[in-house]
Amino acid sequence: DADVTQTPRNRITKTGKRIMLECSQTKGHDRMYWYRQDPGLGLRLIYYSFDVKDINKGEISDGYSVSRQAQAKFSLSLESAIPNQTALYFCATSEGTGRHVGYTFGSGTRLTVV
């Protein structure tokens, strides 16, 4: 089983619909992140959480919200989807302490808003 699991893997939704992307992890990491990937723009941070009671906005949080339901679960919601939110979304986790602070990424959710 994957360390970081994202569901769904692919989703097509209509403009104005509410949609939730889910992320769960078995790494036991406290820190979780949501990134968006667009061609030529790399990965941009949407929201991040350093523990269950901590939620922080990233560089492109407008139009998104998150919920940290447990240490292992971090969901991303689009309250009213719009076409320019069509992108590849990644969830990631990290220990946050120790020498290696690199992230473990999920396989991504490809979202298309029509």
Partner 1 sequence: GESVGLHLPTLSVQEGDNSIINCAYSNSASDYFIWYKQESGKGPQFIIDIRSNMDKRQGQRVTVLLNKTVKHLSLQIAATQPGDSAVYFCAEFNDYKLSFGAGTTVTVRA
Report the C-alpha gap between 67 and 79 in whole angstroms.
Answer: 13
In the complex, minimum distance from the CB of residue 6 to partner 1, in angstroms, rounded to a whole number: 8
Q: Is 12 in the site for partner 1 (CB under 8 A)?
A: no
Give the contact letters, 54-73, x = binds to partner 1 (CB under 8 A), - = no.
----x---------------
Q: Is 48 in the site for partner 1 (CB under 8 A)?
A: yes
Question: Cβ contacts of residue 99 below 8 Å, gap of 6+?
Answer: none
Q: Is 53 in the site for partner 1 (CB under 8 A)?
A: no
Which residue, 9 or 17, has its beta carbon nearer to partner 1?
9
Q: Is 45 in the site for partner 1 (CB under 8 A)?
A: yes
